Amino acid sequence: MVTRKEVAELAKVSEATVSYVVNNTKNVTPEVRERVLAAVHKLGYRPNMVARSLVTKETRHVAMLVDNLKNPYYCEILEGAQSIASEAGYIVSVLSIDVSNKESVMELASRGVDGIIFAMGSERVDKYLKIGPPCVYVGENVYMNYQKAIDDMVGCLVEKGHRNIAMLCGIPLDQDNIRYQNFVEAVKNHGLHLNPKLIVDGSNGRTDEDEGARAMTELLSRKEEFTAVYALNDLMAMGAMKVTRETGIRIPEDVSIIGCDNLNILRYLSPALSTMDVEAFQVGRSLMQLLIEKIKGEPLSSNTIETRFICRETVAEVGQII
Amino acid sequence: MVTRKEVAELAKVSEATVSYVVNNTKNVTPEVRERVLAAVHKLGYRPNMVARSLVTKETRHVAMLVDNLKNPYYCEILEGAQSIASEAGYIVSVLSIDVSNKESVMELASRGVDGIIFAMGSERVDKYLKIGPPCVYVGENVYMNYQKAIDDMVGCLVEKGHRNIAMLCGIPLDQDNIRYQNFVEAVKNHGLHLNPKLIVDGSNGRTDEDEGARAMTELLSRKEEFTAVYALNDLMAMGAMKVTRETGIRIPEDVSIIGCDNLNILRYLSPALSTMDVEAFQVGRSLMQLLIEKIKGEPLSSNTIETRFICRETVAEVGQII
DNA sequence: CTGAAAGCGCTTACAG
DNA sequence: CTGAAAGCGCTTACAG
């Protein structure tokens, strides 16, 4: 790499002056400016960001923590975040984290990341982490309002004659499982009785297809009556669909299934999965935007994303005989 | 952040000694060592990686460039790369790049990344880029041998009576489109005639569902006879399936469809897409492994990944009436 | 308008 | 075994 020193020598100015014109941070006479620019161009000089970071204390590098990178939902959030980041000169690294690992957060801090996006819906880390870079949390700084979508979903099911709706929870109930709470609320709102045996709690904190399959298997083994299943997210719903089909139960004739996230891929499933749109790309944008504000020390605003129930082919009238 | 200086003061040693024990890089008497460690622990000291990088010239940060982050295939590669990276103390950032953009590679260089993984199957960048960090390329350093899988695929189709097999190419033919070349070879090997009108070239370099839909539409508009379609990757195959279904053509009764990548998600499609397994996770691991070797200046070995045709429900006998 | 100098937090010969 | 000192490539008051 060519350094500032070489540019200074070629342009016959001091190293400081090179910085001044490169960063456009001080008035410089046009002639000097031109000389420096010419030298920069000729040598192909680019400032060493590591050195710059050491003095400015900012790396323009943020991290995004997810619990399952394979979930396309996170890819969309990431793309959203990157769209804002690249405009602002930031770069974002995604890391898969098993648990909310204090150690790995500390390592990120020592790497000098300017901020961290917690994209997984888990508990906060910076509460017991006084130091460390600014953080934003999905569910907190960007709040996703599932209540209306879940209300609509339950309403739609009730209208079609469903009374016994199961839920595959994924995230354990002892953690903040907003979607579960919203579901309980929605069930009440529609005058249904909530049968606790139709609620399958999460086990290992995973929320992927395998967990969906596991939870569905568990649900079936309970021998309770149900005509609809709401899974925490689309991946779990897909796992549940697989188990359901393999058991010989028809979708949607025998059981209706609903997911959440509105993954792009769903449009290619058959039957097409009913779900809730959560505008993941927009969530990513908002998270990054808020993080940048927080980094700059601006008063932290927060953002609410509305979600929306999308009824597709996996939902049908109860008792419909085909 | 607490600095080395504070640790030195608390432990009553020089700053150099702190480095020596933290990095375990020189013999230090046990007593001194203990004193330093105690101070480190008490203060919660972590070395500032930015400062360290400035002198060691390594950031243990690598970048991975992809053309479509939404393709789960890249997520698997990324996970593979990260599994090796985290063991070796590296962190990897993914960046979506529209074209093989020299400018963005230069920016990564000025950020001090230690290396770059080119995961998209596009042309090399470092050929006309003398400076810049070490790079590894999928298709070059990790070579994916599609020939056998594609041979098997064509063989399987021929056996089922197919004679006119179309291909949706995605990557333009003027770039290195290995899978297209392998396909041409395989068609020859099985004594078939290659009808150029059944080859749909890529348009914009995209290789996603939309491009698959576009290419399939284009293929149908040509009014040529065909009974099978091989798409560059699973995403394109899914786009093609959608268009096919919407046109009222049945899969696989009227047309067989084959993709490539063996995305996890395929197991949940119906009919299940035939594809080729490319061991994306393993590809990621190999890429990262090779990159680390290259960074260390070790003689660069290369790696071949074998692929394998997987016949599922989207392939059927030709002319089969149901 | 320009530059000499201090300093960012580290590593690592080198001398004691 | 320990530490004083130079240096990594920058930014930025400060003085001229």
Strand D and A54 CB separated by under 7 Å: yes
* pLDDT value of residue B100: 53
The answer to whether the Cβ–Cβ distance between A70 and B75 falls below 8 Å is: yes
pLDDT band at B46 (very low <50, low <70, confident <90, very high): very high
Averaged pLDDT score across all residues of chain B: 90
pLDDT band at A80 (very low <50, low <70, confident <90, very high): very high
Select the more confidently predicted residue: B285 or A205. B285
Strand D and A17 CB separated by under 7 Å: no
The answer to whether the Cβ–Cβ distance between A265 and B46 falls below 8 Å is: no
* pLDDT value of residue B128: 46
Q: Average the pLDDT over each of A104-108, A181-185, B26-30, B132-136 and give the range with the smallest value.
A: A104-108
Three-state DSSP at B166 gives: strand
Q: Average the pLDDT over each of A196-210, B147-161, B207-221 and give the range with the smallest value.
A: A196-210
Q: Which nucleotide is closest to the Cα of A29 by its C1'?
A: C1
Measure A55 CA to C7 C1' (Å): 8
* pLDDT value of residue A106: 84
Domains of chain A: 4-55 (1.10.260.40), 59-140+280-299 (3.40.50.2300), 145-277 (3.40.50.2300)
Average pLDDT of the residues in A180-205: 93
* pLDDT value of residue A124: 57
Average pLDDT of the residues in A132-144: 89
The answer to whether the Cβ–Cβ distance between A268 and B269 falls below 8 Å is: yes
* pLDDT value of residue B101: 63
CA dihedral B175, B180, B182, B187 (to 10 degrees): -150
Q: Which nucleotide is closest to the Cα of A19 by its C1'?
A: D11
- Judged against a pLDDT cut of 90, whether residue A179 lies above it is answered with yes
Q: To the nearest whole angstrom, how far is the Cα of B299 from the nearest Cα of chain A?
A: 23
Render pLDDT for A152-175 as a digit per residue (tens, 0 to 9): 999 999 999 999 999 999 988 877
CA distance A152 to A306: 13
Which residues of A make CB contacts under 8 Å with B?
Answer: 1, 44, 46-51, 53-54, 59, 61, 69-70, 72, 75-76, 78-79, 82, 91-96, 106-107, 109-112, 131, 209, 238-239, 241-242, 264-265, 267-271
- Judged against a pLDDT cut of 60, whether residue B127 lies above it is answered with no
- Judged against a pLDDT cut of 90, whether residue A322 lies above it is answered with no
Q: Average the pLDDT over each of A126-140, A211-225, B208-222, B295-309 and give the range with the smallest value.
A: A126-140
Q: Which nucleotide is closest to the Cα of B30 by its C1'?
A: D1
Nearest residue to A210 (alpha-carbon basis) of A178, A187, A242: A242
* Residue that the structure tokens 């660069």 belong to: B300
Is the whole model's pTM more than 0.85, yes or no?
Answer: yes
Render pLDDT for A268-305 as a digit per residue (tens, 0 to 9): 777 889 999 999 999 999 999 999 999 998 888 889 99
* pLDDT value of residue A320: 53
